[in-house]
Structure 1
Amino acid sequence: MKIAAVGDNCIDLYENLEKAFPGGNPVNVAVYFKRLGGEASYTGVVGDDEYGKFMIDAIRNKGVNVSNIKILPGETAITHVELVGGERILGDYEEGVMKDFKISDEDIEFFKAHDMVVSGLWGMIEEDLYKIKERGIPIAFDFANKLDSPIVEKTIYDVDYAFFSYDGGDDGFIREYIKKNYRKGPKLIIVTLGEKGSICYDGTRFVYEKAIPCEVVDAMGAGDSYIAGFLFGVLSGKEIKECMKMGTQNASTTIKYCGAW
């Protein structure tokens, strides 16, 4: 099993702790997928600064293929983070060289050696997602909690596994939202509900999975861990309920330590 994680990366800078951690949605998914025993690559761009070198070295040290990372003159993206009682408070985001990221035809050829492409809302690939779809490569996409983002309507038609997060619980609104977007093409729509668990819709039924109670040290990367676990289950041929359990277990591991990984 092999995924190609594509898109954003950033340094999570915890200024109150005076610590910096590598991260970014697709980067995290790649690292967590590898942690579960799969293979992963990361395609993105970093600056030619110290943080860029730090990012590449950190990803490589986790066993993720970094051969398709590009280095551009400039600064690696940074997200300023404050940790308050286990909850991460996201501050300013400095985009750096990520603003110039765009996948190429050569990148898409690289993706063909993988079982799935994984990206997300800030991955900067929404304009070219259809090209990956045309190659017959399954696509997983994380829309985070941006249910009203125009990127949802732009990309949902090309996505096979659509992930969202929602803090309102398993209510009528989110179920109708899921059904509406399912009709646009995804095989599965999965919504994480934080401590309220997660739900998945396959076109005929909703499946619910409860969260695992545990002490939260840092919630950074919890959603990305869930995605990695779920997709590991999908590529292993597991049933939906088991995929959800794998995602939940993976997330419960991540929130027990500081930083995404």
Structure 2
Amino acid sequence: MKNNIVYAGNVGVDFYIDLKKIFPGGSALNFVINYKSPSNDDNVSVVSVLGNDQNSDFTKKCLIKNQIFINHLYIFSGKTAVQYIKNNINGEKIFTYYDNGVLDKFQLTNKDKKFISSQDAVVTTVYKQIINLFDQVIKIKTKGIKIVDFRDLSDFNKDFSFIQKYQHDFDICYLSLNIKEKSLINKIKKFSKQKNKLIIVTLGKNGSIAFFGNEVFIQKSLPGKVIDTTGCGDAYLAGFVSEYLKSKDIAKSMFVGTKLASKIASHYGAVNYI
């Protein structure tokens, strides 16, 4: 049976400063396209907004080409969101500046909210430039599961209470942290045990760890050449969710996510769009 899944979040472009090249980007775009990449026949949609510029046309075509439903993708007068990126010698992405463009003005319509509430899985993310949209999405009562990518919490002073504030509004919590952040990881483990929440934490080259109640799951990273880590977290989450919706097997879902993230790291750009 096909699942209906939507990502309500940021769609835009990534500009690689050193390469002087633009790639399609944004967490929502990265997720939905990577979700479809394992020949997944689920119905996948985005809820987002683009500007009326050249970057908009480029990004929209990318979504259509990858069979993503764009009935809730809007075009506003102004600039499409742009993430400016550099890479260090190890391929690790460095986000230098983010211009959220028209995303700043985006308000969900009642039609958008009804659509989001009807989906089998709803995915969203939060960082300071998208807090307006996140606040709208997180309040929506959904038919299916809600997954929130809290990223590395750096925009919120690494304060775990920011996640706790929304504990009744999500089913799966996803984070990207450093293995040295042991205090924060221990808080996450304790929270999962107390609230019986599924929490996945990616740890870069150190793999990933997941907590679900009393259970702990560990997945090592896979060997491979790292060119660019942009979008690896989105790819991991896409792989994880696509498998989890089918099997509810956490360990298997972590492996699928890791495999997809490793593939994305092997080239520039966050998706296989060519």
TM > 0.5 fold call: yes
Paired with 2:161 and 2:107, the residues of 1 have a C-alpha distance of 19
Deviations along 1:10-46, one digit per CA (max 9) or x if unpaired, are 2110122121011111211111111121431111011
- SS of match in other structure, 1:128: helix
How many residue pairs are counted as aligned between the two chains?
259
Structure 2 spans left out of the alignment, 5+ residues: none
Deviations along 1:185-236, one digit per CA (max 9) or x if unpaired, are 5630000011101111111111111110111011111111110111011100
- SS of match in other structure, 1:33: helix
Query: Would you say the 8 A contact 1:8–1:26 is kept in 2?
Result: yes
Matched, 1:159 2:170: yes
Name the counterpart of 2:53: 49
Match of 2:220 among 194, 202, 210: 210
Match of 1:193 among 200, 203, 206: 203
Matched, 1:76 2:77: no
Deviations along 1:98-150, one digit per CA (max 9) or x if unpaired, are 10112222112222443101110144433233542x23331111011114277
Paired with 2:18 and 2:61, the residues of 1 have a C-alpha distance of 24
Name the counterpart of 1:120: 125
Query: Would you say the 8 A contact 2:120–2:143 is kept in 1?
Result: no
Matched, 1:104 2:109: yes
Match of 2:97 among 89, 92, 96: 92
Match of 2:146 among 125, 135, 139: 139
Paired with 1:160 and 1:64, the residues of 2 have a C-alpha distance of 24
Amino acid at match of 2:143: G
Query: Would you say the 8 A contact 2:200–2:209 is kept in 1?
Result: yes
Paired with 1:66 and 1:239, the residues of 2 have a C-alpha distance of 30
Deviations along 1:72-96, one digit per CA (max 9) or x if unpaired, are 1111111111123212111111111
Paired with 2:238 and 2:110, the residues of 1 have a C-alpha distance of 26
Amino acid at match of 1:23: G
- SS of match in other structure, 1:125: helix
Name the counterpart of 2:257: 247
Q: 1:238 to 1:256 in 2, by over 3 A?
A: same
1:155, distance to aligned residue in structure 2 (A) = 2.7
Paired with 1:136 and 1:2, the residues of 2 have a C-alpha distance of 11
1:228-243 alignment to 2 at 5 Å? 228-243=238-253
Deviations along 1:55-81, one digit per CA (max 9) or x if unpaired, are 111111111111210111111111111
Name the counterpart of 1:129: 137
Paired with 2:8 and 2:183, the residues of 1 have a C-alpha distance of 31
The Cα RMSD (Å) is 2.0
- SS of match in other structure, 1:164: strand
Matched, 1:5 2:7: yes
Structure 1 spans left out of the alignment, 5+ residues: none
